[in-house]
Structure 1
């Protein structure tokens, strides 16, 4: 009897030991499984995901483990976190969406408002009354004084002819000589007032002052004081900026959307709040050899010279196909290898990713054809920060396993 009791105790001890061993083994296996499930990422590059510790192949930083709470498919952010991430949301609604084409353009000087001042006679520039560019000039303002013996001879000829007419007013030949001498001086840029003063003073002078034929801005100076110039030699260039040309590049595929006389919208860089309406005056029918593009041109007013030639501009070609659709700002959509998605604010401070299907896209907006409903609240600023935060905390792509 005593022997049977010893065998029973021994048997129960063995059974207990086996159960204890199995429990320890199971616990160790669970621990190993958890360690194997732990993933690591780079704090600076959340797209780097590895199953074990190591260093980032991009920046070399040590990888850090993800948070354990990987099962949730949403993020919870407090008010301070939302402010730090600069999150902005909007309610989705159907609005008029126009697939307008944007053409890159620029402001250039209108050649019709450019005046080239050239020397009427050969001579030496004695005085330049304007010695720098960018200076505004009024019509009739003195520009330069020139020394010309040729003009002095023509003045003397005119005085002789005028004296002959004064002595013999009925002689047609003397009158014709006076008219011819006067015409020569007028063609050389002398004014009626200068000729009257010449007859009054009866004194010729090789120094003649020339005045501005138009108002404008000195855009270019071609001479210096003391320089000799020939007849027709360039002196300076005057430009008026009350009107400016807009030249825009047109791809051949967009050529059918525009025609001469059509009105388009122009947005000058830095003045997006002041769109201008422009009439298309000219479309170059030939392609530029180096760029394989066409050019259109129009004119816009430039009050108070607020715009300068050389500024970038955008020309919007209207599209006939306008419709009411769900549309979002381009920055609200995150694109990756799994598709496109947006972030929905399901509740206050709770953000969930949502895969969407995109339609027509412009420079500013993109049409959403599937995945969103009218009235839902979507993150339009800070969406990429939510995307990075999700990868960093959850250890997976927010679109992983999702299907439309």
Structure 2
């Protein structure tokens, strides 16, 4: 009896390792299946919050789900035709073209000193009448501006009348004739015209008032006297500014100086009138930096019909820069820039796109020059490049340029 129990126990002990190994094998198989199930995870490129463990479509946008595997280090993306259409991905073949660039210089409109007129007193006396009493008043050439009473002028006129009378009384006396000419010359220095001197001789009465007329069209920019004020000879009375032609001054960094030359034609965009660019010829380049800054200055002149612009307005000067005549260029939207540099997306096969680091050159509003990174004939993504960039980060978990930063 005891012998039979012993045999049974030994048989059971022999079966235990086999049962244990079978159980472990079954557990390992289940773990492997679970691991595979975890790896095979799918997500929506446009809605990463949608995650499933099987293929399908996104319940939000209807796009096909794609495999989500951050362990995949391949630096490329593969999209289906529907994904490319929904992302509006379009491409262009990179090629060479003439690349022109421009620099925008900050500028301002200032008064043209050549259009400025200074009115002063030619005689010492009193401002008897001031016909323009405030600044900002528009005046026209020949308009009477002010009148000065001068006792000294009255004395010179009286002297001239006496000299002429003596010369008539003694026609053969050269000395009296010379005295008369000298008295006449003094009056001319006091701004007396030949017509006024003729009227003085005809009337025989002195006129101690000197009238001053505008020498050109303009605005009264400064008024230095008041009516009844005494002024000395040469004292400033008012300043007139003509706005028919204005200066445009623009700031220039020394490194940009080789791009500018006298006689060069540039475009000027006046603030508020950007749709009406004005042509201007640069006629002056400052040979020294402005005091207290590291800026040079360039200047030109523009016409101002109807006085539509006023000094003080801001203006941008567009400086053309001639680029390489055989430059490899792309549309500006094709280049993605971040803290790690600039890159583009190149189509390497059907539905397959990979990032390429590029080095850019000059750039304008529409195109950018590519110096390194791609070659002529490469198919580059133009629209949808940012979507590819975002999808790469979602699917790979890293920046597309991370592999290029060694």
The question of a shared fold, defined as TM-score above 0.5 by the shorter chain, is answered with: yes
Does the Cα contact within 8 Å between 1:356 and 1:372 map onto a contact in 2?
Answer: no
Structure 1 residue 367 displacement after superposition: 0.7
Residues 241 and 391 (structure 1), Cα distance of their counterparts in 2 relative to 1, 3 Å cut: farther
Matched, 1:214 2:216: yes
How many residues in Structure 1 have an aligned counterpart in Structure 2? 362
The one of 268, 272, 277 equivalent to 1:274 is: 277
Alignment of 1:182-193 (within 5 A): 182-193=184-195
Alignment of 1:325-336 (within 5 A): 325-328=327-330, 333-336=335-338
Does the Cα contact within 8 Å between 1:156 and 1:204 map onto a contact in 2?
Answer: yes
Q: Deviations over 1:246-278 (max 9, x none)?
A: 444444444455555x42424334446535251
Aligned partner of residue 214 in structure 1, secondary structure: coil
Aligned partner of residue 215 in structure 2, secondary structure: coil
Does the Cα contact within 8 Å between 1:339 and 1:355 map onto a contact in 2?
Answer: no
Structure 1 residue 368 displacement after superposition: 1.8
Q: Deviations over 1:170-227 (max 9, x none)?
A: 5433333332222222212233333333334433343332111233332222223233
Does the Cα contact within 8 Å between 2:344 and 2:385 map onto a contact in 1?
Answer: yes
Aligned partner of residue 322 in structure 1, secondary structure: coil
Q: Which residue number corresponds to residue 46 of structure 1?
A: none
Does the Cα contact within 8 Å between 1:114 and 1:240 map onto a contact in 2?
Answer: yes
Alignment of 1:119-198 (within 5 A): 119-198=121-200
Matches of 1:368 and 1:198, distance apart in 2 = 82
Matches of 2:173 and 2:395, distance apart in 1 = 109
Output the aligned Cα RMSD: 5.1
Aligned partner of residue 127 in structure 2, secondary structure: strand
Residues 123 and 313 (structure 1), Cα distance of their counterparts in 2 relative to 1, 3 Å cut: farther
- Which ranges of structure 2 fall in alignment gaps of 5 or more residues? 1-7, 9-18, 44-67
Matches of 1:395 and 1:250, distance apart in 2 = 45
Does the Cα contact within 8 Å between 2:109 and 2:249 map onto a contact in 1?
Answer: yes
Matches of 2:243 and 2:359, distance apart in 1 = 44
Does the Cα contact within 8 Å between 1:92 and 1:378 map onto a contact in 2?
Answer: no
Matched, 1:312 2:277: no
Alignment of 1:37-116 (within 5 A): 94-98=96-100, 103-116=105-118
Does the Cα contact within 8 Å between 1:142 and 1:212 map onto a contact in 2?
Answer: yes
Residues 325 and 172 (structure 1), Cα distance of their counterparts in 2 relative to 1, 3 Å cut: same
Matches of 1:242 and 1:296, distance apart in 2 = 20
Residues 110 and 120 (structure 1), Cα distance of their counterparts in 2 relative to 1, 3 Å cut: same
Does the Cα contact within 8 Å between 2:109 and 2:247 map onto a contact in 1?
Answer: yes
Q: Which residue number corresponds to residue 233 of structure 1?
A: 235
Q: Which residue number corresponds to residue 52 of structure 2?
A: none
Matches of 1:20 and 1:200, distance apart in 2 = 138
Residues 209 and 275 (structure 1), Cα distance of their counterparts in 2 relative to 1, 3 Å cut: closer
Q: Which residue number corresponds to residue 358 of structure 2?
A: 357
Matches of 1:90 and 1:137, distance apart in 2 = 62
Larger radius of gyration: 2
- Which ranges of structure 1 fall in alignment gaps of 5 or more residues? 4-12, 39-67
Matches of 2:125 and 2:223, distance apart in 1 = 17
Q: Which residue number corresponds to residue 56 of structure 1?
A: none
Structure 1 residue 137 displacement after superposition: 2.6
The one of 291, 299, 302 equivalent to 2:293 is: 291
Does the Cα contact within 8 Å between 1:356 and 1:368 map onto a contact in 2?
Answer: no
Residues 275 and 344 (structure 1), Cα distance of their counterparts in 2 relative to 1, 3 Å cut: farther
Matches of 1:375 and 1:170, distance apart in 2 = 104
Matches of 1:143 and 1:88, distance apart in 2 = 71
Aligned partner of residue 196 in structure 2, secondary structure: helix
The one of 241, 245, 254 equivalent to 1:243 is: 245
Give the structure-2-normalised TM-score.
Answer: 0.64
Aligned partner of residue 186 in structure 1, secondary structure: helix
Aligned partner of residue 358 in structure 1, secondary structure: strand
